Amino acid sequence: MQATSFTIEETTFDVSLLPEDCRKPGSEAFHRAVTDYFQQAYGAMGGRVAVVFANGRIEVSWSPDTETASPAAEAMGTITPLLKQRRYGEARPLLVALLEAEPENRDALYNLGMVASDEGQLKEARELLRRSVAVDPSFANGQVALGVAALRDLDQAEARQALERAIELEPDNPFALRTLGSLLTTAGALAAGAERFRQALAVAPNDLVASLCLAQALLELDPGEHRDEADALLLRVIEQQPFGELGEQAKALRGQVAARDLRQGSPNGLRQDAVTYCLDALRRFQAMDQAEFMAVISEVAAVGQGGLQINEPGTSRTLKSLPGSYSDLALACLIHVGMKRLTPNEDSGLGIEAEYVEALRMIGHDGVGP
């Protein structure tokens, strides 16, 4: 490693890196804090650091310790935990220092490029990542990161080239496969995108993002042909992340599918059988106390998690908490009405909201009726 030095103006130093009471350029506290900062930044690489203040400038010089066996490896050992914790403000100066000492350090270029990409500095990110793969053309993760940065910068051409190169280098790289799938589906190549998502899931079966993306692509490609496969994927996402962002997206997609299914039998208006079932559910729940209500809604919700065939009137199920037998559409209406009682502003995602609103109109807007 070569010695390095540089000079910056005190007024251009990023004072957010310093304690709040040490941020006035020119002050003794500022000088102490800046000195501590650079000593810490270069400390992971060993050697000697000197910080001098003169005429409003900060002069920093570093020289390596010849007895240090692998200062770059030691530096990355310090930097890697910071990156994992997304402590970019602390990691960035260390990476910059390492690059000043070793301009062709592949890992420093890659990690600094990743930091810049996550922080939205996309032109800087792409340049750093291009340099990383130029240093090591076989570096698949560098190609993936370059593809992501280019995609964020709306350059689909470079993004596709980088991601396809990553897959050539590592055919089983799940993130490269998934990201290329997203690019292809965004560009309208739904079948090709779906195939990449399937390949990603073959490598990483528990990848919920790939599962959700594949379901979306299939529903856009042909919602009739691929309905069951897409629904199974969405159910998997919901089961694994019922209250997270991915789970909510999956619920919304299932709601769209359910609404389409429901309207197949009545494309120009309401499903009157669903209105009737909603009316029945409203009246049943009115007659129950809270404990009885919770017992019913818990049971039907559990049944619903297994999937409901709401367009098959021949289906018949029995419940422990209610007498009689019920079609899947009737159970869906029980679920929807029950959820509206618990959370009035939420939608069950079952596509029954219009029928529920009509049932409310018939029974009374406050849910009280004969």
Residues facing residue 61 across a β-bridge: 5, 50
**pLDDT on residue 157:** 95
Q: Mapping DSSP to helix (H, G, I), strand (E, B) and coil, where does residue 186 land?
A: helix
Nearest-Å Rg of the Cα atoms of the chain is 30
Q: Mapping DSSP to helix (H, G, I), strand (E, B) and coil, where does residue 7 land?
A: strand
**pLDDT on residue 45:** 61
Is residue 104 within 8 Å of 135, Cβ to Cβ? yes
**If you ran DSSP here, which 8-state letter would residue 69 be given?**
S
- Going by C-alpha positions, the residue among 33, 36, 12, 9 that lies closest to residue 23 is 33
What are the extents of the domains in the chain?
1-103, 272-363
Beta-carbon contacts of 216 under 8 Å, excluding residues fewer than 6 positions away, are: 185, 230, 253
**What is the per-residue DSSP string for 245-281?**
HHHHHHHHHHHHHHHHHHHHT-TTS--HHHHHHHHHH
The residue type found at 18 is: L
- The pairing of beta strand 48-54 with beta strand 57-63: antiparallel
Is residue 18 within 8 Å of 34, Cβ to Cβ? yes
Is residue 209 within 8 Å of 200, Cβ to Cβ? no
**pLDDT on residue 65:** 65
Is residue 56 within 8 Å of 9, Cβ to Cβ? yes
Phi-psi region of 289 (alpha: psi -120 to 50; beta: other; left: phi over 0): beta
Structure token pair of residue 151: 């995609």
- Going by C-alpha positions, the residue among 354, 350, 330, 329 that lies closest to residue 339 is 350
**pLDDT on residue 262:** 64
Own/partner long-range contacts of 227-234 (Cβ < 8 Å, ≥24 apart): 227/257, 227/261, 230/257, 231/257, 231/307
Q: Mapping DSSP to helix (H, G, I), strand (E, B) and coil, where does residue 155 land?
A: coil
Distance CA 58, CA 99 (A): 19
Distance CA 81, CA 274 (A): 55
Reported pTM: 0.62
**pLDDT on residue 370:** 38
Own/partner long-range contacts of 122-129 (Cβ < 8 Å, ≥24 apart): 122/149, 122/152, 122/153, 123/153, 125/149, 126/150, 126/153, 126/158
Residue showing tokens 């270069």: 42
Distance CA 305, CA 350 (A): 12
**pLDDT on residue 348:** 79
Is residue 355 within 8 Å of 275, Cβ to Cβ? yes
**pLDDT on residue 49:** 82
Residues of the chain where predicted confidence (pLDDT) is lower than 70: 1-4, 42-47, 64-74, 259, 261-268, 306, 311-315, 365-370
**pLDDT on residue 224:** 81
**pLDDT on residue 69:** 44
Is residue 185 within 8 Å of 220, Cβ to Cβ? yes
Q: Where are the alpha helices (DSSP H) in 187-320?
A: 190-203, 208-221, 227-240, 245-264, 272-286, 290-305
